[in-house]
Amino acid sequence: MARDLYETLGVSRGAGAEEIKKAYRKLARRHHPDANPGDKDAEERFKEVQNAYDILSDSEKRKQYDMFGAGGPQMGGAGPGGVRFEQFDLGDLGGFGDVFSNLFGGGGRASSRPMRGGDIEATLNLSFEDSLRGAETRVPVEVDASCATCGGSGAKQGTSPKTCPQCGGRGVVAESQGPFAISHPCPRCRGAGMIIEKPCPTCRGSGQVRRTKQYKVKIPAGVKDGTRIRLKGKGEPGMNGGPPGDLFVVTRVAPSPLYERRGADLVVEVPVTYPEAALGATVEVPTPEGTISLKIPPGSESGKLLRVRGHGAPKLKGSGRGDLLARVRVTVPKKLNKAEKDALEQLKSVSRENPRERLVR
């Protein structure tokens, strides 16, 4: 049974055209025969990915596929060797022709309109303190770059790619079967439309190499774990003069030993003694901006939250800061000296409180 085309590209049935294109480009690069010389499994997988994109990138063919599956009236069935259509030309596939030629150096009749580069994502680890005060750092990112040795042609210095004589540069060949034609990648150029007789030793014929670039990124004060910061134009380079994609920096913030974060509010635990909780007291409490004095009201129970406005984390949207929520925790001494014990015994003898009164029926 033919594999589901959405599953082949790893996208949902509701995926948009840009998501489908992005998934195709990623898989095509990974499984292209030039990147996997001699690997038959990779070649078959590349054909499957190409077939899936052929249909899902075309609104009419995708509609037919969604309604009738691979055996629909315009599909003719799908298989690892190619997708059956009525006679078509690679240059008529629009977006597919652009992506195919840009990725693999295809020439001939494929469109060469500018294409935007892909977006990339990088992770940045931050301490809790840096997430509150902000930071400026550099992020290393791996991106595709034109091979400096061959100038991006994929051919060894002193040589150049040549138009494939078998497909005439179209990248596909067709075999007639009754009223339909089965189109599949050209076996000579493996769908590239061009052949490289002497590949560049640096990029092995791909025309591109992976390089690490350092980008300066300003982290705003108040970022949370998972905040995405966009650096426009710092993604993968565009093709045929198209604009580059964007870089998204995702922050990973280490937990704090002092604070629990609730949006822009910070919760801090404040231990107090029983006399302080019963009689009230003024205690010192840490905040991101320094220590402040906090008044504990008389009769405060363990777990009570006291709000200190404007002493939380900076707000990412808008101005100002969140609040500091001081959670009172009444401590019980594990060991008592004689004076403490006598004082508590005296308190016990005069105390009128019975916390278990409601348990007695």
pLDDT in tens, 223-243: 999 999 999 999 888 876 788
Average pLDDT over residues 265-284: 94
How many Cβ atoms are within 10 Å of 42's Cβ, its own excluded?
16
In percent, the amount of the chain with pLDDT more than 90 equals 36
User: Does 232 or 43 have the greater pLDDT score?
Assistant: 232
DSSP state for residue 155 in the 8-state scheme: B
pLDDT at 2: 55
The C-alpha atoms of residue 111 and residue 240 are separated, in whole angstroms, by: 10
Query: What are the residues whose beta carbons fall under 8 Å from the beta carbon of 151, sequence distance 6 or more?
Result: none
pLDDT at 154: 84
Q: Which of 2-6, 204-208, 342-346 has the highest mean pLDDT?
A: 342-346
pLDDT at 80: 37
User: Does 179 or 220 have the greater pLDDT score?
Assistant: 220
Alpha-helical (H) ranges within 92-148 are 95-104, 128-133
Domains located in the chain, CATH noted: 1-115+174-182 (1.10.287.110), 259-353 (2.60.260.20)
Q: Which amino acid is at 40?
A: K
Query: What are the residues whose beta carbons fall under 8 Å from the beta carbon of 325, sequence distance 6 or more?
Result: 262, 265, 266, 267, 268, 305, 306, 307, 308, 312
pLDDT per residue as tens digits for the range 21-39: 889 888 888 888 777 777 8
pLDDT at 181: 61
The C-alpha atoms of residue 143 and residue 161 are separated, in whole angstroms, by: 24
Average pLDDT over residues 138-163: 86
Report whether pLDDT(82) > 60: no
Give this prediction's pTM: 0.55
Helix H or strand E segment including 82: strand 82-85
Q: Could you give the C-alpha distances from 262 to 129, 130, 222, 315, 324, in angstroms and in order?
A: 16, 17, 12, 12, 10
262 falls in which pLDDT band (50, 70, 90)?
very high
The C-alpha atoms of residue 62 and residue 56 are separated, in whole angstroms, by: 5
Q: Which of 53-67, 97-111, 116-130, 340-354 has the lowest mean pLDDT?
A: 97-111
Q: Which two tokens stand for residue 211?
A: 């390089």
41 falls in which pLDDT band (50, 70, 90)?
confident
Q: Which two tokens stand for residue 338?
A: 């004689």
Contact 28, 118 (CB under 8 A): no
Report whether pLDDT(75) > 70: no
Q: Which of 56-70, 104-118, 160-174, 281-295 has the lowest mean pLDDT?
A: 104-118
71 falls in which pLDDT band (50, 70, 90)?
low
